[in-house]
Structure 1
Amino acid sequence: MRTIIVGLNFGKGDFDASMEELHLLVNSAGGEVLAAVAGTRKAPDAKLYIGSGKADEVKVEAQIHRADCIVFNHAISPAQQRNLEEFFGVRVMDRTALILDIFAQRAKSHEGKLQVEMAQLEYMQSRLTGLWTHLERQRGGIGIRGGMGESQLEIDKRLISERRMKLKAELAKFERQHKTQRLARTRGTGLNISLVGYTNAGKSTLFNHLTSAKTYAADQLFATLDTTTRKVFVEGAGQLVVSDTVGFVRDLPHQLVAAFRATLEETIQADVLLHVVDAASSVRMEQIDEVNKVLKEIEAEHIHQILIWNKIDLTAHEAGIERDENGKIARIYISAKTGEGMAQLREALVELAENHTPDWKREREQANEWANDPRFRSN
């Protein structure tokens, strides 16, 4: 699809990096970016988001390149989308719709497809009223408020609500299955580890290196959507459970976070999060912040986290372990691609396993404390 990308700089964050990421997102969705139009504003325009002057500029670019689609690097309202499509005469998408489209293309498992459909329906439902405004003005007869547009809007809302209810029921079954599988998998094992991080940081490559698995890993955004879990034996640390999760991105649609909550449950239940960071990225600190925002949204911010500084083969960093002022592991420098630093990572896993108290042992210790507590003794 021939695409023009549009972004406004509101003076927050790294604007150039954000536009570059939008370019990559369009490519990931199968589109071709023909031109980029950028501008600066203090606040969005209520009608056309980018204002009439900048909209004229975008329209000229769209006509020159015969664009099929214009993608905004922002979340735009349904009314703004309608106004822009009427003005440009071509399809308009915002960043949220683009990410949902990529997830829909990449979802392979039945559960993944259901999760993406749920997110798409929630996104669509929130926009129906604005998109149907031009029909809601119609009347059904003299003195009667209503008409084709209004009735069609109600039909669409009802159909979406019914489909969402069915999807929720199916996803609830998957959630119960996940819980049963998790209990069976973690019984008798030691550390439960979850790999998290920004998309394309190298989580799947690291997962394959640790577990000898053959999960799909590629230099592209959202290469992996489904959570993959493997048991792995590490000498000195015993048997560990390692999970590879979906990558995050700035402004990840909340609809996706909600729909993928069952998948992200592996993250919530982990003992340790290995937060994989692209050490070669110029915006790695912003990416770390974005990942932490999502972790907070899924209530996983309290879980012990270690930064894995990946892709050091593209930087001047040397493999090794960095500790905080208390002597605890804070950061590990590795290259999952070349294998540099993997020995140090395994050393760190051994140390983490030694300091980890399994759930069964923790429950037994707590039971012994209660048994010895005078307040709980019978006379």
Structure 2
Amino acid sequence: MRDCVGIDVAELGGEGGTRPTRALVLHPDIRGAGRARDAADALAEAMALARALPGLELTGGDVVRLPRAHPGQLFGSGKIEELKARVEAEEIELVLIDGPVTPVQQRNLERALGVKLLDRTGLILEIFADRAQTREGVLQVELAALSYQRTRLVRAWTHLERQRGGLGFVGGPGETQIEADRRAIDEQMVRLRRQLEKVVRTRELHRAARRRVPFPVVALVGYTNAGKSTLFNRLTGAEVLAKDMLFATLDPTMRAVDLPGAGRVILSDTVGFISDLPTQLVAAFRATLEEVLEADVIVHVRDISHPESEAQAADVLAILTDLGVRDTVPVFELWNKCDLLSPEERAAVEARAARDPRVLTGSSLTGEGLAALYTAIGAQLDGARHRTVLTLAHDEGRARAWLHQQGVVEAEAAGEEGVTLTVHWTARQEARFEGMREA
């Protein structure tokens, strides 16, 4: 497995990586931390994350209730002794902490327990490193991993204490090596950003080509493992990886497809969202998720059978807001996996959904309820387009070219005062056009 944050799971598993790495998952439940999610559900999600990383064998998972986080070790000394005994008894090689762990806490815990440790951010980065397939995805993961590593050099260079030397007034043991390593990381990050800029320019050319095709974009978004890829495969006949696994899909996939009742659209499958997404990844994957900003319609796929469905939906909406998705973009919710509900639960869910025309119920696996989704998308797209007659001055060639690039021009006639065009467009395209003319 490619080394992402400094831990090679295959190496931990023994010589040649022939056996899986034995791992323990811990969810710190800190009193007054302000998290609304249930600790048991949070632990279950953390264990599902761990299972998504190849080469791990989970020995178990525990919720550790804490009155407060110990600044130096996260856990108290009594809990650490208990964990050390368990690590030795169960031959645990890796401890996964479902939450943030500071570099100092990580160093001290690894010393005390005698095993490697990953926090939630490190685990998600490892999963992304294992799954990314496209050139852009790989570069983004490497950039995010370097940003994460840069803050944790304190633990990577503890062996440099033997290099003390000098008179002791030059900053402390190992400082020179740490600074040199930080410079190396900074230089590598600059190189990666330059490579990413080239990839992004290429992707922008592809996006511009799509804009010239007069097909609306429908983006599928949702919490990881909500069923987006299963829905995408059902609609397109594609073979995007769709498993009961967190982050089964990382790289965005787009296909042109004829939706019954909606006509031809470009359908986009995106990376699944998750609570406490590492800030490094939010920044690194912003360019990829910008495909959502281009959408004419967003379908928010929710796993309505999940006990944390409401909290998951809130996380998705928060990330969409962070990405800059405006209220003008229509969003439908597909309450997915209704086939997993009992008859009583399903009746209650359908009664709730009936109160909101933007909410539909069904199953991307069985196809139940999807006809209503197609109809709703088609009605939205038909209703979203309107005709406008514009007169552009002869020197507004850039604006005229943009309209043709968008594929919205139905008729055009040249006159003395300029060029008169009849355009058939969405309100969003009209707003972008007006913004461009004013710039």
* TM-score, length of structure 1 as denominator length: 0.89
How far does residue 142 in structure 1 lie from its aligned partner after superposition? 2.9
How far does residue 148 in structure 1 lie from its aligned partner after superposition? 6.7
Correspondence for 2:248: 223
Correspondence for 1:53: 78
How far does residue 138 in structure 1 lie from its aligned partner after superposition? 5.7
Change (3 A) 1:158 1:68: same
The one-letter amino acid of 2:338's match is: I
Mapping for residues 161-200 of structure 1, pairs under 5 Å: 161-200=186-225
Change (3 A) 1:42 1:137: farther
Aligned counterparts of 2:308 and 2:316: Cα–Cα separation in 1: 13
The one-letter amino acid of 1:357's match is: R
Change (3 A) 1:137 1:286: farther
Per-residue CA deviations over 1:77-133 (Å, capped at 9, x if unaligned) read 000000001100110111110110011111122221111111100000122246546
Mapping for residues 1-379 of structure 1, pairs under 5 Å: 1-11=21-31, 12=35, 13-30=37-54, 31-129=56-154, 131-132=156-157, 135=160, 139-142=164-167, 145=170, 149-300=174-325, 302=327, 303-315=329-341, 316=343, 317=346, 322=353, 329-357=357-385, 360=408, 361-362=424-425
Contact 1:231 1:240 in 2 (8 A): yes
Aligned counterparts of 2:326 and 2:114: Cα–Cα separation in 1: 45
Secondary structure of 1:307's counterpart equals strand
The one-letter amino acid of 2:225's match is: N
Aligned counterparts of 1:235 and 1:210: Cα–Cα separation in 2: 10
Aligned counterparts of 2:189 and 2:365: Cα–Cα separation in 1: 41
**Greater CA deviation, 91-100 or 150-159?**
150-159
Correspondence for 1:373: none
The one-letter amino acid of 2:381's match is: A
Per-residue CA deviations over 1:263-306 (Å, capped at 9, x if unaligned) read 11101221221010001101100111111222122222533211
Secondary structure of 1:295's counterpart equals helix
Aligned counterparts of 2:426 and 2:376: Cα–Cα separation in 1: 25
Secondary structure of 1:270's counterpart equals coil
Where in structure 1 are there 5+ consecutive unaligned residues? Answer: 371-375
Secondary structure of 1:293's counterpart equals helix
Secondary structure of 1:355's counterpart equals helix
Aligned counterparts of 1:160 and 1:22: Cα–Cα separation in 2: 29
Contact 1:7 1:37 in 2 (8 A): yes
Contact 1:312 1:333 in 2 (8 A): yes
Work out the number of aligned pairs and report it. 367
Aligned counterparts of 1:287 and 1:330: Cα–Cα separation in 2: 18
Aligned counterparts of 1:158 and 1:213: Cα–Cα separation in 2: 44
Secondary structure of 2:332's counterpart equals strand
Where in structure 2 are there 5+ consecutive unaligned residues? Answer: 1-20, 387-405, 409-423
Q: CA RMSD in A?
A: 2.6
Per-residue CA deviations over 1:206-228 (Å, capped at 9, x if unaligned) read 01111222212111111111100
Change (3 A) 1:351 1:143: closer
* TM-score, length of structure 2 as denominator length: 0.78
Contact 2:162 2:173 in 1 (8 A): no
Aligned counterparts of 1:63 and 1:143: Cα–Cα separation in 2: 38
Contact 2:339 2:363 in 1 (8 A): yes
Aligned counterparts of 2:280 and 2:167: Cα–Cα separation in 1: 41
Aligned counterparts of 1:320 and 1:188: Cα–Cα separation in 2: 37
Q: Percent identity?
A: 40
How far does residue 186 in structure 1 lie from its aligned partner after superposition? 3.0
How far does residue 352 in structure 1 lie from its aligned partner after superposition? 1.1
Aligned counterparts of 2:80 and 2:383: Cα–Cα separation in 1: 59
Change (3 A) 1:2 1:133: closer
Per-residue CA deviations over 1:230-273 (Å, capped at 9, x if unaligned) read 11123442321110000011111111111111211101221221
Change (3 A) 1:162 1:311: same
Correspondence for 2:414: none
